[in-house]
Every structure is written in C-alpha cells, then in structure tokens.
Structure 1
C-alpha cells in the first residue's frame, strides 16, 4: 500500500496507549515503525525503564507484527556536566534503551543532539565536544547489544538547532559510526535549506523523519508547511540514499479523530515522491 521503506513513528499516535497506537498504524497499512521513547513527548515507553518494562513493551511491539526500525529515546542532556551518580544513572538508562532496541529487533537507538536549549552550558565548542563524546561512547556501548547508534541533528529545539552546529557536530562524529537522522521539519523550522543540509551531510544520513513546518513551527501536517519534500527526496535518491523514512506526525493542526486519515494521506503523498 505504502512504499516499503516508509514507516510511521509511534509519536504520530502518542495520544493513544501503545497497544492502540500499534493497532492504528497496522490498520492503516504500515509495516514498519519507529518506537517513541521520549519523556514528555511520547510515553509509549516508560521513563523508568525496568527489566519488566522492557519485556512488556517489546512483547507489545513484537505481537503487533510491525517491524521496529529504531527506538527514538533520550538519556538526558548530553552537554550537561554530570557527577558520578548522575553518570551512572544515565548509563543504566542507556543500557535499558539499548536492551529494548535489541529485544524489539530495532536496527538503532536514536539519541538527541544536546539539551533542549540553544545556549551552551560552558561554550559552544566545549558543549559540542561533550555531546560528540557522549554519542561516541553510546555507540560503542550499542555495539555490545548489536544495535547502531544514531543522532537526530539538526533539531530545531535542541542545542544543535541550525546548520552550523549540526555540521560542527557531524565533523566531530566523522568516522565514529554514529549515524545522522535527518528531519525535514527541523531543517525548515530553523530557516535552513534542505539542499544546503544535504551538501553538508552528504553520505552521512542513516534515517529520515518526515513532518511539515514553517520557520519557527515544527508541528504541521504534511502539505500545511513549507518543507521541500519533492526536492529533498529527489536529492536523497540522487545522492544514493538507500535508508528508510518515517512519518513523525507530532502535529497540532488536526484533531485526534482526524489523525489516521491525515497519516494515510501523508503516507500516500510521500510514497509517490520516494
């Protein structure tokens, strides 16, 4: 029904409990999902991710018949300076998310590109160094679970919110094995050009999120903003991108009752462009 490389993030149905959200995506015809594990954004995965919770969530995902492409998680601000106890707590949370990714058969865990603040904790360079070091360390740990580690950068709400900072982070991650997740909505919201983004990240993109936006607003349904999906998807194909795509419809311009139809419409539109 939809392109085989096009999935849907459970964030698109974050208003529903996980079993209902999984059923909603399955009934629409999706075969692949990203599993949202972002506190305050999508609570499909408990923040207190105990072994029991990992087992319960993974069982729900596997029972749905949907493939899990990635787990989209958060282990806290990667540019924060932590003491020993906080560092240990972060490591436990990372291990729990990696355990969930492995148990669901996900290819990767996705982590953010820094804090929910554009201002540095120390300095821009020091914060970028720390974020890169945290991501590289997480990638090394992920390899022990048989899982890849990706970061969503740029992200309009995070520290690496524009093309300059995303590029500087990409430079620091070069050769590390950390993949880059591209999101059309964040590029557009930051006032950046998708082709300039792809020039800067040529050959580095491992996954693509799809949502529409206008400068300053990332929460629009596909077709209601200015994101250049046609140009961006054509350019990705020309650059040899063979990865997958996910509708991450954390939109605020449709009602919950309208959301399934909006997701199906977006999937058909994007399928025609891939």
Structure 2
C-alpha cells in the first residue's frame, strides 16, 4: 500500500459561489495554494495526493503547470474528489455534466480514481426513493469514470443521507459503485470502520484515513484520536486491498505540513510492525 495525502488541509474546503445560481459550475475547492500543498506533501514523505475537482479545474487552461508541479515534487495525482446532491431530478443532468468534467480532468493528469460524495438530506426528510435516485446516479458515474479509465468509489459523509451503517447498506445494496471508507466519517456516523471494511471487502477501491475525537467532534491527525488503526489496517489487508491510503485531514490549526508529518510517522510505525 502506498501513502498519499489530500490537499484539503491547505486552506480547508469551500465551494465556488457561482454554484449558488449555476449548478454545473459548483466545484469543491481547497482554499489554499496547491503549489505549497504539493511541495509540503512531498517533503512529508508521501508519494501521492488527492485534489478536489475545483482545484484541478483551475489548471484546465494551463495543464503543463500542474504536470510540472507534480513532476518536480515526485508526487502523483492519485485521485480527484467530487460530489453533488444526486436526488433532485431537474438538477441531475448539470451535476453529471460537472462530474464528467472532473473525470476528464482526472484522466488528463494521470489520476487513477474518482471519489464521489453526496446524496442530499432534504429539509422535509429522506424518502426511500432518494436512495434509489442516489444509487442510479452513482451507477452512471461509474460508467463515466470507466470511460476515462478511472475507478469510481463512493465516500460516505456526514450531512448526507449516507452517514450510518444502516444508511450505507441501503445504498450499497442498490448500486455497483466502489466503496471508499473514510475512517472518521464512518465512526462519526455510528459505525466501526474496520467492521465496515470487513462487510464490503470486495467493494473497496480507495481509502481515506483520518482520526476522530467524538466529543466535541473533531477530525485529527492519525494517532491523535480514538480510532483503532491497527485493526483498520488488518481489515484492509484481509480484504486484499493493496492500493493507495490517502490521509485526509479537513483542517488543522497549525502548519498543515506538521499534521502531514505526524500522520506519516504514525503510519510508518504501524506499517513496519
């Protein structure tokens, strides 16, 4: 398993304001310097990175700049993260347009994986049909990714209709997309990350690692919270997973590079054990 680090920690995640009135232009973005992020990720000893669709889209008209940045740091763009509501029929074509654009850009820069989050939780509650709508959209995204030579996986996320283990099962039984376990989101949703990895071993296509403090809720560098990473890594090995482990820390009060180094040192101890 190779180690990568998500660029989100450099500035945290924001959405483009144009998306308020133009769904097709609503991207995630890390609100910081990707140049600094890639250099720091390399310095912390990681071989790969994951970026948001909006950060990659910023290089669409100057692709050589991103290629040069990655090459000079000896860091691969492993994956691109995107997401949408996926439950509103009128909005879906524009959402899929944006996902297709993200997949095209991911392939342009040599990424292997398209990671997708979403499934809006309506103000009036979640009808069971929303799981059918989300599943059907994710199957279409799987096709989009495969046309670009990418592997697609779904990332359960707090604030969506896939938080808890029961909600995850409602989705997984309806769709063929791969599974991207995010250790902290799974735990915050009431699940045991290692147990959920063992439940869906054949569906795992990508992995996000971050630690968790339950009260008050906070995402932390690896080893700084309560999650059982030795068991999580055992579960991944049992599943035969041998691809990238992406550390994804949403925010950090100090230097993002410091958090990346801390998680790398913790992982090195576990992987050498």
User: Which residue, 260, 264, 267 being the options, matches 1:270?
Assistant: 267
CA contact (8 A) 1:208 1:244 kept: yes
Q: Give the direction of change, closer, same or farther, for the CA distance of 1:150–1:32 in structure 2 (3 Å limit).
A: same
Are 2:80 and 1:71 aligned? yes
Distance 1:30 1:195 in 2: 23
Alpha-carbon shift at residue 186 of structure 1 (Å): 0.7
Q: Residues 1-274 of structure 1: matches in 2 within 5 Å?
A: 5-14=2-11, 16-37=32-53, 44-46=55-57, 51-52=60-61, 57=66, 60-61=69-70, 64-74=73-83, 76-82=84-90, 86-115=91-120, 117=121, 123=127, 125-153=128-156, 155-173=157-175, 176=176, 178-215=177-214, 217-252=217-252, 254-255=253-254, 257=255, 259-274=256-271
Q: How many residue pairs get matched?
A: 251
Alpha-carbon spacing, 1:25–1:199, altered in 2? closer, same or farther (3 Å): closer
Work out whether residues 118 and 158 of structure 1, in 8 Å CA contact, stay in contact via their aligned partners in 2.
Answer: no
- Structure 1: unaligned runs, 5 residues or longer: 38-42
CA contact (8 A) 1:54 1:96 kept: no
Mind listing any 5+ residue stretches in structure 2 that lack a counterpart?
12-30
CA distance in 1, matches of 2:180, 2:124: 22
> Normalized against structure 2, the TM-score is what?
0.82
Change (3 A) 1:6 1:51: closer
Distance in 2 between the 1:225 and 1:266 partners?
A: 11
| Cα pair 1:72 1:109 within 8 Å, conserved | yes
* Maintained 8 Å contact 1:188/1:226: no
Instruction: Measure how far apart 1:99 and its partner are.
Output: 1.1
Normalising by structure 1, report the TM-score: 0.81
Task: Let me know the Cα RMSD of the aligned residues.
Answer: 2.5
> 2:42 & 2:143 partners in 1: Cα distance?
33
